[in-house]
Amino acid sequence: MATQAFEDIADTFAFFDDWEDRYRHVIELGRDMPDMEDALKVPATKVDGCASQVWIMPEVTGSGPDARFDFKGDSDAMIVRGLIAVLHALYAGLPVGQVPQVDARAELGRLGLDENLSAQRSNGLRAMITRIREAAAAQASPEAG
């Protein structure tokens, strides 16, 4: 159920022989990501559970079954900023109802991220995924209107 943007990342990762090349590519993805406005870096958008400073601001366009999920994100750590870019590729543009159904662990496992991140970074990545899934689920619920 991955987006084309995520499939492109997976295809690129398949060309790399070692984790160091993948690590550099993740950092490059983070560098290429648009900056998040400082005004959005507030306690409400801060992701708890991350060793670095991480902010995620969900954005939903449309309504009902046609509503599409997107988010802005940023971090003060380049590798984490790259992980945010990977998550953006995984989730951006999906219908809000599909976001919680994405098996992020399996998709990220295709990149080898699960076995090559420190425990702290893995915990932070899970916290970011939880924030994204909860934000999309809230928007997809009938009460979200």
The domain of 45 spans: 4-144
Strand partners, 46: 55
Let me know if 50 is a catalytic residue: yes
SS3 for 34?
coil
Annotated catalytic residue, options 2, 9, 47, 50: 50
What integer pLDDT is reported at residue 143 of this predicted model? 55
Whole-number pLDDT of residue 71:
96
Distance CA 89, CA 2 (A): 9
Domain count, the chain: 1
CA distance 13 to 115: 14
Can you give the pLDDT at residue 19? 86
Q: Average pLDDT of the chain?
A: 90
Confidence of residue 32 (pLDDT cuts 50, 70, 90): very high
CA 139 from centroid of its chain's CA atoms: 17
pLDDT score, position 1:
63
Length of the chain in terms of residues written = 145
Residue 144 has pLDDT above 60, yes or no: no
Task: Summarize pLDDT for 62-113 with one digit per residue, the tens.
Answer: 887 778 999 999 999 999 999 999 999 999 999 998 999 999 989 998 898 7
pLDDT at 145: 47
Model confidence at 57, pLDDT cuts 50, 70, 90, reads very high
> Which H or E run includes 68?
strand 68-75
- Per-residue pLDDT, averaged over 38-65, amounts to 91
Burial of 122: CB neighbours in 10 Å, binned 0-12, 13-18, 19+: middle
Helix H or strand E encompassing 74: strand 68-75
Nearest to 135 by CA among 105, 94, 82: 94
Number of neighbouring beta carbons within 10 Å of residue 107: 22
Q: Are 94 and 3 in contact (CB under 8 A)?
A: yes
Report the Cα–Cα distance between both ends of the chain, in Å, rounded: 26
Confidence of residue 39 (pLDDT cuts 50, 70, 90): very high
Averaged pLDDT for residues 110-131? 87
Residue 29: CATH number of its domain:
3.90.1010.10
